[in-house]
Amino acid sequence: MSPARPCVAAKFACDLANTNPEALSRPADRVRVSQRELGNIVGAARESVNKCLSEWQRSGWVHIERTSITLSDRTILEQVANQV
């Protein structure tokens, strides 16, 4: 994954969580998107997205599920997103 792709992936995940219709008074913590869908959106292979998300999960920033990603540390992800 090119250096800019993790930034784009983080930005997309945060933006999607912020616009989640299920969130009433605060942004949602869970983004319903598969790794393949996220890869298609940011222009990266699913394998590259998986590697990036796995690193983020080991760092405690996200929790990966089959068709969703839970943002555990939105502050860090927003910092990654702003590195574009």
Residue 71 in this model has a pLDDT that exceeds 60: yes
What does the domain layout of the chain look like in residue ranges? Answer: 4-81
* pLDDT tens-place string over residues 17-43: 666 555 444 556 788 888 888 888 878
| Residues 19, 28 contacting (CB under 8 angstroms) | no
Question: What is the pLDDT confidence band of residue 58, given thresholds at 50, 70 and 90?
Answer: very high
| Residues 66, 33 contacting (CB under 8 angstroms) | no
Prediction pTM value: 0.72
Topology (CATH level 3) of domain 4-81:
Arc Repressor Mutant, subunit A (1.10.10)
Residue 16 in this model has a pLDDT that exceeds 70: no
Cβ-based neighbours of 84, under 8 Å, separated by 6 or more: 4, 7, 8, 11
